Structure 1
Amino acid sequence: MSRILMSLVALLLALYLILCAALFVFQRSLIYFPQSGAVDSAQSRMTLTMPDANIRVSVREHSGARALIYFGGNAEDVSRNLPAFAEAFPDYAIYLLHYRGFGGSGGSPSEEAIARDALALFDQVFARHPQVALIGRSLGSGVAVRLASQRPVTRLILVTPFNSLVELAVEHYPWVPVKWLLKEHFESGRYAAHIRVPTLLLAASDDEVVPRASTERLLHSFPDGVATLEVVKDSAHNSISERPQYLQSMKEMLNR
């Protein structure tokens, strides 16, 4: 091999290693895309006080036993769901968690920090409402599954869910050793095995982000008879919530 060719190979290898190092260091900025809160008023917000940050929660207060906690996607302003959810689920108190760095929440997002915030929110809500259902969308499906494996939820709804963030990363970036680099794993399938409450998985028919195979692997991770899968027709990863079946399927699950 000529000296020029060897030098070129060494240069390409160095550039590849630099790229991998950059992805490792800055990966969370490639996973989380903080959004501000659009639907915001003193009546529609509460603060969850954590030891290291104050976390914003958009709320629709309602007396009674039932409550709904929602965990959104990685680039979602969850407060935008408040009007539609308030109308669709009139008998539920509604709590929409703004991840760290999103919608006025302090701190920086990470899988473990969000998991701690979700547990704290559930415990606070559960003290007032003994029947708590969870909805998690996209990245939030990983948050919801983990929480449901640790707390006594009544129903679990997962929208465009995946089996593992590592699996998705391998599929989208096959040229990067993501299994070694990725800090955020969101291993939903591992937590699903411990869930016993009725669970609905809503998949988009034309999801360009989460392959159907990943959602089906998650489905089969649940114990037999616990989870069902519905496919929302003529929908993509981000447009699924625009279809009538989206809220209708949720209402049917929550009213079982």
Structure 2
Amino acid sequence: MSRQLQRPKQAFKNTILRWLRVLSEKQSSDAGDVPESFDRRGLATAWLGLAGGLWFMRVVARNRFVFPAPDPSYGPQSYRRHLCWIPWNPVLSPDKARDTSLQDGIPCLWFPAPKAATVILFFHANAEDLGMSFAILKHMRDQFKVNVLAAEYPGYGLLHHVEPSEDGVCEVALTTFRFLVDILGVRYSQIVLFGRSLGSGPAVFLASQFPVGGLILVSAFSSIRAAVQSIAGRLFAMAFQERFPNHKTISNVSCSTLFIHGESDGLIPVEHSVKLFKRCRARKLLVTPPEMEHNSNLFGDASFLAIPAIHFFGFPGYYTSTPPRLPASMFETPDRRVRLASQVQEGTVRPFLCDCLAKRDQHTLDAGFARQADGVDNITICLYKDTSDEVELVGEEAKERLRRKTEGKLLEKQAMGKSHVQADGDVGAGEAEEPLQQELASVHLEMPEFPEHTEDPPPL
């Protein structure tokens, strides 16, 4: 969570503690010990204020407290080689698949690694979106040499118009996970789930349901209510329902699990990861860097993430000649995909070569091919100057090449005949060469005539 959000939370926490201190003094003191400034009206005001605050947090602002999404830090045109759109699964999300406002799909960031079979499915922390996680995702791909896919949450980034909720976050996580398995053909054992802070909720949820290859939890919490209790106290946490019960689902995780939690974390204490570590029954490792805070750069110090992850999971893992690759059409912006579909339906798409060389203005139709992602070979178009001299030169070279080939075969045939004649009648070399010269002279090479280009080629 950002530090800007911690200040109002601290002020609200101080107000709650002040009210509780007054109430405790009232209950523990006699009537004669009550301060003169404190009367029944003040007590009623304190109780009403406390009840109103709890009602407001439980009914109105609970999602804003749990999902404090910042303003979008990226747009549809950002990160053109990495921003992709995964469609909603009609089986898992039939309502969202039919919703026209969500027809674009789930915005994700994809970082492919050459020949890598492993895929890290990343879930970012609270109070940030994919744009704020871009640097760490790219560094993760470069450091571990594996593919990295990160999905956006409802209410964050380009999904800011969707109401955030626990079910919505898990729905996005499950949709992207099934896309890797069902569409890209990635094996369960080749997927490593990565959850940071709030992202530990969907990461533990998936790891408890599927036999994935590994799980990495950074600054994880045991549950939302426990995290709120660590921030604002037990009474304040009573206003929140239990969400992301990691302390219950972690016992169903069977894959290797790496816990990383800084001892200097002032937002979520390290005791949360210690509790999860004790309840986890799989192969596990707990790392608690002393200088690591809640929002520390994970690659600012190699002891935070790089060294433990490489030693624990053995990154980069397996290599393959067919690494997972996303279809190029998924990297197109939603507006352009709609234009391409309408142009194909109307039959107004120009030839491929004209689309490549056309000027990019508002009157130009979109090219009939999609933008390529990282790791995909680019299309190269070679243009040659079409002149009659070059065509004639090509024809002469072809004639000469065929003449040499034919002459070699005749020489080989004549040599075999000469050896036979010398063995029988001891004929001289002059007599043997004369039939060869006659046979070569009788060879007639028929080559197709190349038409002469008298007109300039049509403009591209």
For the residue of structure 2 that corresponds to 1:204, the secondary structure is coil
Distance in 1 (CA, whole Å) between partners of 2:242 and 2:151 is: 19
Task: Check whether the contact 1:37–1:78 (CA below 8 A) recurs between aligned residues.
Answer: no
Task: Identify, as 1 or 2, the structure richer in strand.
Answer: 1
1:41 to partner: Cα distance: 2.2
Asked if the contact 1:101/1:107 (under 8 Å) is kept, the reply is yes
Identity among equivalent positions (%) equals 21
Residue of structure 2 aligned with 1:9, choices 24, 39, 43: 43
SS in 1 for 2:210: coil
Question: If each structure's helix is expressed as a fraction of its own residues, which one has the higher value?
Answer: 2
TM-score, length-normalised on structure 2?
0.51
Could you tell me how far 1:115 is from its partner in structure 2? 0.6
Shift, 1:205, TM fit? 2.4
Q: Tell me the C-alpha RMSD between the 2 structures.
A: 2.3
Greater Cα shift, 57-66 or 81-90: 57-66
In the other structure, the counterpart of 1:89 is: 144
SS at match of 1:42: coil
Tell me by how many angstroms 1:157 deviates.
0.5
Deviation at residue 38 of structure 1 after TM alignment: 4.7
Larger Rg: 1 or 2?
2
Answer yes or no: is the 8 Å Cα contact 2:195–2:201 preserved in 1: yes
CA distance in 1, matches of 2:53, 2:43: 15
Unpaired runs of 5+ residues, structure 1, are: none
1:230 pairs with 2:268: no
Q: Verify the 8 A CA contact 2:226 2:237 in the aligned structure 1.
A: no
Task: Write the letter of the residue equivalent to 1:232.
Answer: P
Distance 2:256 2:44 in 1: 55
- 1:55 maps onto 2:106 in alignment: yes
Q: How many residues align structurally?
A: 252
CA separation in 2, counterparts of 1:168 and 1:222? 19
Ranked by relative contact order (alpha carbons within 8 Å, sequence separation 6 or more), the top structure is 1
Alignment partner, residue 32 of structure 1 = 67
- Mapping 1:231-250, distance limit 5 Å: 231-241=288-298, 242-245=300-303, 246-250=305-309
Asked if 1:251 is matched to 2:336, the reply is: no
2:211 touches 2:254 (CA, 8 Å); kept in 1?
no
Cα shift at 1:175: 5.7
Give 1:126 shift.
1.8
Task: Pick closer, same or farther for the CA change 1:208–1:240 going to 2, 3 Å.
Answer: farther
- 161-170 vs 65-74, which moves further: 161-170
- Greater mean deviation of Cα atoms: 78-87 or 186-195: 78-87
Report the Cα distance in structure 1 between the residues aligned to 2:164 and 2:135, rounded to whole angstroms: 20
| Pair 1:99 & 2:137 matched | no
What amino acid does structure 2 have at the position aligned with 1:121? T
| DSSP-derived class of the 2:85 partner | strand
Q: TM-score, normalised by structure 1?
A: 0.89
Corresponding residue for residue 225 of structure 2? 166
| Secondary structure class of the residue paired with 2:216 | strand
1:101-140 pair list within 5 angstroms: 101-105=155-159, 106-127=161-182, 128=184, 129-130=186-187, 131-140=190-199
CA distance in 1, matches of 2:217, 2:176: 18
**Pair 1:182-2:240 in alignment:** yes
User: Equivalents in 2 of 1:47, 1:66: separation in Å?
Assistant: 21
Instruction: Give the counterpart letter for 1:154 in structure 2.
Output: G
2:135 partner SS: helix
The structure-2 alpha-carbon separation of the partners of 1:231 and 1:240, relative to structure 1 and needing over 3 Å to count, comes to farther
Distance 1:12 1:80 in 2: 47
The change in CA–CA distance for 1:175 and 1:192 in structure 2 (over 3 A counts) is closer
8 Å CA contact 2:230, 2:269 repeated in 1 = no
Aligned equivalents of 1:100, 1:172: Cα separation in 2: 24
Q: Distance in 2 between matches of 1:175 and 1:202?
A: 25
Q: Deviations over 1:47-91 (max 9, x none)?
A: 23334343211111346532110011101233332221121122x
